[in-house]
Amino acid sequence: MTDKTADHAERIRSTIRRYQSTFSENDRAGWIALFTEDAVLEDPVGTHRCDGHVALGEFWDRIHVSGHHAFVVPVTTPAVCGLEAAWAFEVHVDAGDVEHVISIIDVGQFTEDGLITHNRAFWDPSTVQVVPRPP
C-alpha cells in the first residue's frame, strides 16, 4: 500500500466514522456536508434514490420525522479498496416499548478528499429486528 493509498483509506474511514456520528448526534448539516453536491444515496438500494444535497436533506427529514432517537453501532471496520469502501453497521431506533435494530451493509464511492459521491445501503425487512424493552 502506497502512502497515497493509505491516506485515502484513512480519509474514507474518517468520513464513515463522521457519517455514523453525525447520524447518531442528529446533526443534519454535518451529515449532508459529508457528501459532494451531486452525490447519490440509495437507501435502501432499489427503492429510493436521492440526488444532491436538497434530496439528501429531504431524505434526512423523512427518516427523522418520528422524533425517535436513533444511533449507529459499527459492526465491522470499513474495508477500503481504492476510493470505494464497504462496511456493516446497525441502526438502533428507540421506539418506546421496543427498539428497532436494522442491520445494514453500505457500499460507498468517495473522492480523494474523502467526500461521499455515491452510497448504497443494503437492507430489507428481513434485516430489521424488533426487540421488546424489559418491563
| Structural domains of the chain ordered from first start | 3-132 (3.10.450.50)
Q: Is the pLDDT of residue 132 over 70?
A: yes
The cell numbers describing 74, all together, are 459499527
- pLDDT-derived band at 111 (thresholds 50, 70, 90) equals very high
> Catalytic residue at 94?
no
Q: Name the residue type at position 20.
A: Q
> Catalytic residue at 19?
yes
Beta-bridged to residue 107, according to DSSP, are: 86, 120
- 3 state SS of 15: helix
Backbone angles phi, psi at 19, to 5 degrees: -55, -45
- Catalytic pick among 27, 43, 97, 113: 43
Q: How far apart, in whole angstroms, are the C-alpha atoms of residue 73 and residue 77?
A: 11
Q: Closest Cα partner for 19 from 102, 101, 91?
A: 91
- 3 state SS of 64: helix
What is the percentage of the chain residues whose pLDDT exceeds 90? 84
Show the DSSP H helices in 1-135 as ranges: 3-24, 28-32, 52-64
Task: Dump pLDDT digits (tens) for 79-107.
Answer: 999 999 999 999 999 988 999 999 999 99
Backbone angles phi, psi at 2, to 5 degrees: -80, 165
- Catalytic pick among 3, 19, 27, 113: 19
pTM value is 0.92
